[in-house]
Amino acid sequence: MSKKILIVDDEQNILKMVESRLLSAGYEVACAKSGREGLDILKNETIDMIVLDVVMPDIDGFDFFKTIKKDPKTADISVIILTGRAAMQDTFEAMGVDDFVSKPFEGANLLAKIEGVFKGRALVFSNQTSATEVISRVISSEEMVLDIVESEDDFFSFIEKNKYKVLITHLAAVKKTPKDFMDKVKMSRNSKTKRVMYSDVKVPGLEHGSKVAIKEVMTLWQHEGINAFFDARLEEGDFSKVFSGAYKS
């Protein structure tokens, strides 16, 4: 059964454009031209996600969001905020929205955000093909949406722009100290995202496989906030179990 998405926006052109893109992507769609109409639809229909505008004449996006979160019947519905006021992003994220899209926007970007919320979205930071392939294979088995970056600058850029369910970093690609690296993660949109560190023979200082050295590095990263640390020389090569344990915990 396809997912049903409620679009709440008082701008008719936005409403029709988003409706058309979602229908083309295979979703069922309900449309509301006001916050009050949106709340009425929620009383009578089963909705899986809400794409919500902020500035509306009767009930604005803030009050709409607070209203549905107070009702046990609608509290668990995913919400993506759609607005021209990007400065509101921090406020809505503190309230617990699933993602945020700034107007004007590309339809493809909105669809990617929707898919990421439904399936879960992961970011891999790795500049080594062998590590990237192992990590990507495990994430693909979970049917998550996957982004891959190869530099620290791109990694920090992506976690500022997008919200992820899990971040996986290949330790060999990291240039910053554990504290500096994790401090930047904690200050991003992904401060509460699950974090997994992947280590292998490519990591400077750990090439010779000393378990004592590996465990010292693992302890250092865990102290700074990594949820799970993997090294095949400690875990007998089963990255999938480590990833699954961190992601689903």
Instruction: Point out the domain boundary residue: 95, 118, 141.
Output: 118
Structure tokens at 201: 């023979």
pLDDT for the residue numbered 165? 87
Do residues 231 and 209 touch, judged by C-beta distance below 8 A? no
Instruction: Point out the domain boundary residue: 66, 87, 118.
Output: 118
Same domain, 88 and 126: no
Segments forming the whole domain that contains residue 224: 120-248
Same domain, 105 and 197: no
What DSSP element (H or E) covers 246?
Answer: helix 239-248
Q: What is the C-alpha separation between 170 and 91, in angstroms, rounded?
A: 32
For the beta carbon of residue 108, count every other beta carbon within 10 angstroms: 10
pLDDT for the residue numbered 1? 58
Q: CATH no. for residue 132?
A: 3.40.50.2300
pLDDT for the residue numbered 91? 76
Same domain, 93 and 25: yes
- Secondary structure percentages of the chain, helix, strand, coil, to 5: 50, 20, 35
Our CA dihedral for 174, 96, 13, 56, rounded to 10 degrees, sits at: -140
Same domain, 166 and 77: no
Q: If we measure between CA atoms, which residue out of 104, 99, 110 comes closest to residue 25?
A: 110
Same domain, 77 and 153: no
Same domain, 125 and 238: yes
Number of domains in the chain: 2
Three-state SS for 121? strand
Same domain, 169 and 232: yes
Same domain, 149 and 111: no
Instruction: Point out the domain boundary residue: 118, 145, 165.
Output: 118
Same domain, 244 and 124: yes
In the chain, which ranges are E strands? 4-8, 28-32, 49-52, 78-83, 99-102, 121-125, 145-149, 166-170, 194-199, 228-231
**Alpha carbon of 14 to those of 36, 103, 216, 230: distances in Å?**
18, 10, 53, 45
Same domain, 152 and 197: yes
* Below-50 pLDDT ranges, the chain: none
Same domain, 33 and 93: yes
Same domain, 104 and 132: no
pLDDT for the residue numbered 236? 60
Q: If we measure between CA atoms, which residue out of 98, 36, 32 comes closest to residue 67?
A: 36
The answer to pTM > 0.85 is no
Do residues 124 and 146 touch, judged by C-beta distance below 8 A? yes
pLDDT for the residue numbered 237? 63
